[in-house]
Structures are given as C-alpha cells and as structure tokens.
Amino acid sequence: MITDAAIDRWLREDVGHHDVTNQVPGETTGRLVAKEAGVAAGLEAATAVFEYLDVDVLDALADGTAIEPGDELLRVAGPARDVLRGERVAVNLAGHAGGIATRTRAAVDAAREESDSVRIAGTRKTTPGLRGLEKRAVVAGGGDTHRLDLSHMVLVKDNHIAELGLEDAIAHFRDRVSFATALEVEVETVAQAPRAADAGADVLLLDNMTPAETRDAVEALAEFDVLTEASGGISIAAVPAYAATGVDIISMGSLTHSAPALDLSFRTGD
C-alpha cells in the first residue's frame, strides 16, 4: 500500500518551498494517456496521490491491463491547483511502474514460446523506497514477486556455504526460520543441486549457469520435490533458452532496475 507519509515526501520533493505556476484558480480535469503500447501499472499509487490532494479519481484502469497508444489510464477532476500539483508525481509513478510491467510482460511472452508454466520473477534489485510499487508492477506484468524482503524467504548463499559447508548451512538456517518461511539455496555446480535438495532446500537457485547446465541441474533434481530458479544476468533474448530447460522460475533483476519508463502524458482541461 502507498502511505500518506510517502506521498507527502514525493510531493514536497517535486514542489519545493514556493511554486507559483500551479497557483491557478478554478476546477479542471486531467487524463493520463498512453503514448505507446504496454501494460498499465502504478495506477493505484497515482490514484492515491490524487486522493491525498482531494482530487477525485473518476476512472482508472486496473493495474495489469494491456494498453495501446491513446488509451486513457486515469481520469481526474478537481481544483486546478491540486490537479497540477499531483500531475508530475502521478505520471512518474505510473510511467516507472508501467515500464516494469511492460518489460515483465515481454519476458513472460518470451518464456511462453518454450514453456507454459515457467515463472518470470523479479529480485531484490529494486529502487530504494519503491520496493512495493515495483513488486506489484512485476505482478501486473504477469510476473512473480520473488521474495519481498530479506525476511520473506531465506537464501543460503555461497558465503554461508563456504563457511559452514552445504549441508550444515542448510540445517543451520532451517533451524532458525519459521515454518512460514521457504528456504532457497544458491548452487554453482550441477553436482551441488541434488545435495542441496537432499539437505532440505525448498528452492534451488541455479546461479549463472548456461541453459545446458541449467537443464542438467533440472534433470538431476527430477526426483526431488523442489523448485528450480535460473538467475544471473538473463536477458529477454535468453529467456526462451532458459524456459526450455524445464526450470520453474527465471528471475531477472533487469525487470526492475533497467526497464525504460512507459511513455505517458497527462492532459488537462479537455
């Protein structure tokens, strides 16, 4: 959810101490319009910004809706001053989130060329301050949030394994986390994968493996009731090859940290 405290900060950041160009009397309307095709997201956040300013939100697409150029995403009406104050923050939020949703959809579509079930997931490589917005944008694009924060799912990493050994590291953390918390283990070789599954991992992170290695690891895990995740600099172009390996999840930091904004414009008064 978007809190009032966040909206406070965002508006103050954009408006500054004394703006005069928004000191406009009267009422106006505004429309958020797509200038390119993509997937809508961030509209709950944009709605919250306008409602914070007591601007009425008359209509809004649901996050996740596919859009074409010219489509109207959001329509508002209220005092001109407040519509104008909220405009830039609302567009920045919806453009940023829409870009993430659009890129996620593209990755999902690429995956579907080879697999009906593989999930495209985000990572913790999000923009500080916008974790929730970006995770929800991934979902709007058809993706999977992956873990929301460090407390959501344990990830046993190479440094833990280096220190404690594979089996002991897994036992160490299994012993320390809730039953509500899944446990994922990062493996760097195909050989490590079944050992980790045997030691109790719920999910195997197949890190920086080629599609061929990934396929080998997936096969080596056939008998285990575990999920498998391919990760490590996977581009959208590479998604089909990974999707074809039978892996369950393909995670991509670029969904959130490198998606270009969706091109939107805000038009007032018509």
60-89: which residues touch its own copies (CB under 8 A)?
A: 85, 88-89
- Whether 35 sits among the annotated catalytic residues: the reply is no
Q: Let me know if 267 is a catalytic residue.
A: no
| Footprint on residues 11-40 left by its own copies (CB under 8 A) | 11-23
249-251 and 119-121 strand pairing = parallel
Q: Could you give the strand order of the β-sheet that contains 72-79, starting from the edge strand earlier in sequence?
A: 56-60, 72-79, 27-34, 264-268
| Tokens standing for residue 5 | 């405290």
Shortest distance in whole angstroms from residue 18 CB to its own copies = 5
And the tokens for 50? Answer: 């306008």
Which of 177, 191, 219, 223: binder of its own copies (CB under 8 A)?
177
Closest distance between its own copies and the C-beta of residue 75, in Å? 17
The minimum distance between CB 83 and its own copies, in angstroms, equals 11
Are 55 and 86 in contact by the 8 Å Cβ rule? The answer is yes
Tell me how far apart the alpha carbons of residues 247 and 266 are, in angstroms, rounded to a whole number: 41
Comparing CB distances to its own copies, the nearer of 35 and 191 is 35
The answer to whether 58 contacts its own copies (rule: CB under 8 A) is no
Give min distance, CB of 260 to its own copies, in A: 3
The residue from 75, 112, 124, 125 that is catalytic is: 125
- Which of 160, 209, 214, 220 touches its own copies by CB under 8 A? 160
Q: Which of 124, 131, 157, 195 is catalytic?
A: 157
- Gap between the Cα atoms of 245 and 250, Å rounded: 11
Q: What is the dihedral of CA 254, 236, 243, 64, to 10 degrees?
A: 70
Residue number with CB closer to its own copies (40 or 191) = 40
Active site residue 13: no
Rounded Cα gap, residues 112 and 119, in angstroms: 10
Binding mask 82-121 vs its own copies (x if CB under 8 A, - otherwise)? ---x--xx-xxx-xx--x-------------------x-x
Given candidates 41, 48, 120, 136, which one binds its own copies under the rule CB under 8 A? Answer: 136
Residues of span 229-258 touching its own copies by CB under 8 A: 229, 233, 248-249, 253-254, 257-258
Q: Is 135 one of the annotated active-site residues of the chain?
A: no
Catalytic-residue membership of 248 = no
Three state DSSP letters for 94-118? HHHHHHHHHHHHHHHHHHHCCCCCC
Site for its own copies in 196-215 (CB under 8 A): 203
- C-alpha span between 111 and 26 (Å, rounded): 50
3-state secondary structure of 153: coil
Tokens for 217? 């690891």
Rounded to a whole number of angstroms, the minimum distance from the CB of residue 263 to its own copies is: 8
Q: What is the three-state SS of 119-136? A: EEECCCCCCCCCHHHHHH
Q: Catalytic site residues?
A: 88, 125, 157, 186, 207
